[in-house]
């Protein structure tokens, strides 16, 4: 079993490395050419977010394999030598929530900010938006945790009379319990009213995991369904609106010249507005 645990750890490390390399490949392959060799922080967020998303999916087979590692152990405490899957699940989902609500919004506000501002002003502006988001999220999470942060368990209260410990064991289908007159155990003869609901407050990390799972499932159902439905519609629309006529070379040159002229005029107007903004003569 120890060899199996070691192999599982090695496989987990190798898979994490492959996931990280795959995320880098996706970023490099699909990034805009103008973003090459710049904006490293948003790129790191993208790679890290993709890696966490893939690892959160691969956690399920890892958990199954980890449980099988100690199923046939012959000594107590064998499962303590396996991977700490509960802590790993909590860590993955908490990191996922931090990325969604804090890191990714900060990267978006920072990257989409005014490029003419200094680095400090861009960071300050992004932090203001992120802090506002954090306050709202903290209030929502705190209120929900205080109101619905509980778990209900259906339990049955069982009680039985005491009896003398037997010197011999004689169990059969007609006598499953201790005692000469016992034909059914207390679990079978318990009253229906003995079933009660046991309510306990869950821990905050587990509450975050449950909330992230529910919200993620609902959003995935909505956006996944919309995406699957819109994909064929988009392809059909693109086919219907495809270019149906081919223009001549002279028409192409004429249209390109007109577009270039309009583009130069727009650029000139934008430069003028930009110059006025810098001089303070006109605000946004």
Q: What is the 3-state secondary structure (H, E, C) of 155-190?
A: EECCCCCCCCCCCCCCCCCCCCCCCCCCCCCHHHHC
Q: What is the pLDDT of residue 258?
A: 92
Shared domain check, 177 and 133: no
Shared domain check, 282 and 231: no
* Radius of gyration of the chain, Cα coordinates, nearest whole angstrom: 32
Checking if the pLDDT of 71 tops 70, the result is no
To the nearest whole number, what is the mean pLDDT of the chain?
80
Shared domain check, 7 and 143: yes
Q: How far apart are CA 213 and CA 104, in angstroms?
A: 18
Checking if the pLDDT of 284 tops 90, the result is no
Q: What is the pLDDT of residue 112?
A: 76
Q: What is the pLDDT of residue 174?
A: 65
Q: How far apart are CA 116 and CA 139, in angstroms?
A: 34
Q: How far apart are CA 5 and CA 88, in angstroms?
A: 16
Q: How many CB atoms lie within 10 A of CB 130?
A: 20
Residue 35, in any domain of the structure: yes
**Host H or E run for residue 151:** strand 150-156
Domain of 47 in residue numbering reads as 2-149
Shared domain check, 129 and 6: yes
Shared domain check, 73 and 15: yes
**CA terminus-to-terminus distance, the chain:** 68
pLDDT tens-digit profile of 90-129? 888 888 888 888 888 888 888 776 667 777 888 888 888 8
Checking if the pLDDT of 218 tops 80, the result is yes
Shared domain check, 134 and 117: yes
Residue 29, in any domain of the structure: yes
Supply 6's token pair.
């070691």
CA dihedral for 85, 86, 90, 91, sign (positive or negative): negative
Checking if the pLDDT of 89 tops 90, the result is no
Q: What is the pLDDT of residue 19?
A: 93
Supply 266's token pair.
């727009």
Checking if the pLDDT of 21 tops 90, the result is yes
Checking if the pLDDT of 2 tops 50, the result is no
Mean pLDDT calculated for residue range 38-52: 87
Q: How far apart are CA 81 and CA 69, in angstroms?
A: 9
Q: What is the pLDDT of residue 17?
A: 93
Higher pLDDT, 241 or 77: 241
Mean pLDDT calculated for residue range 24-32: 87
pLDDT tens-digit profile of 231-283? 888 889 888 888 777 778 888 888 899 999 999 999 988 888 888 877 764 44
Residue 165, in any domain of the structure: no
Shared domain check, 140 and 107: yes
Mean pLDDT calculated for residue range 67-83: 65
Q: How far apart are CA 96 and CA 22, in angstroms?
A: 18
Shared domain check, 280 and 193: no
Q: What is the pLDDT of residue 51?
A: 92
Q: What is the pLDDT of residue 22?
A: 93
* Closest among 131, 97, 103 to 204, alpha carbons compared: 97
């Amino acid at each position: 079993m120890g060899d199996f645990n070691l192999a599982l750890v090695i496989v987990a490390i190798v898979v994490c490395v492959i996931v990280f390399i795959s995320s880098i490949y996706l970023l490099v392959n699909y990034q805009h050419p103008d973003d090459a060799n710049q904006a490293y922080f948003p790129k790191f967020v993208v790679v890290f977010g993709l890696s966490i998303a893939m690892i959160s999916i691969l956690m399920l087979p890892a958990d199954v394999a980890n449980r099988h590692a100690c199923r046939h152990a012959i000594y107590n405490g064998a499962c303590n030598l396996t991977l700490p899957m509960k802590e790993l699940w909590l860590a993955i989902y908490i990191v996922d929530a931090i990325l969604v609500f804090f890191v990714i919004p900060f990267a978006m506000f920072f990257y989409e900010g005014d490029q003419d501002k200094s680095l400090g002003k861009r960071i300050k502006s992004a932090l203001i938006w992120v802090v506002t988001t954090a306050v709202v999220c903290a209030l929502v999470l705190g209120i929900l945790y205080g109101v619905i942060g509980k778990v209900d368990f259906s339990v049955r209260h069982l009680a039985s009379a005491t009896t003398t410990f037997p010197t011999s064991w004689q169990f059969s289908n007609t006598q499953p319990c201790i005692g000469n007159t016992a034909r059914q155990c207390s679990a079978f003869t318990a009253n229906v009213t003995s079933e009660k609901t046991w309510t306990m407050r869950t821990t905050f990390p587990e509450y975050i995991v449950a909330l992230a799972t529910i919200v993620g499932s609902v959003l995935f159902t909505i956006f996944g369904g919309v995406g699957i439905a819109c994909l064929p519609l988009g392809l059909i629309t693109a086919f219907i609106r495809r270019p149906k006529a081919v223009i001549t070379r002279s028409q192409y040159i004429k249209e390109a010249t007109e577009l270039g002229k309009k583009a130069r005029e727009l650029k000139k107007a934008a430069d003028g507005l930009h110059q006025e903004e810098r001089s303070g003569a006109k605000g946004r």
